Amino acid sequence: MSFYFARASYRLPAMSDVGAGEAVKIRAHSPGRYPILVVELGGGELRTVYFETGYDLERAKRVEEGWLRENAVGRHSFLEVDPPEEVPAPALRDYVRRELLEEV
């Protein structure tokens, strides 16, 4: 008899569709010390990635264009990046440090 229980995985399914070197487009970010990014994947899907997760795309949340406009920008003062900035997925944390946190 085993008392070992498999741990549930908290990674969201189908988020690993971004290759290690694939670029994403940064569409918007929240202000402040712990920015949230809204990124667009190669297929056009939007995801939010978080400071707390190291901007790990596998732990991102899928969002819609309407959410970006009405909720993020409209209600929560996210700043649109226009034109969107293209960044390699593994370099999101460096982008935040270099472009967003220097001004805080």
The tokens for 75 are: 């209600």
pLDDT at position 72 is 84
What is the torsional sign of CA 39, 44, 46, 47?
negative
Question: Is the entire prediction scored with pTM above 0.85?
Answer: no
pLDDT at position 61 is 94
**What's the DSSP call for residue 74?**
T
One digit per residue, the tens of pLDDT, for the chain of length 104 reads 545 454 444 444 444 455 557 899 999 999 999 999 999 998 999 999 999 999 999 999 999 999 998 888 888 889 999 999 999 999 999 999 999 997 54
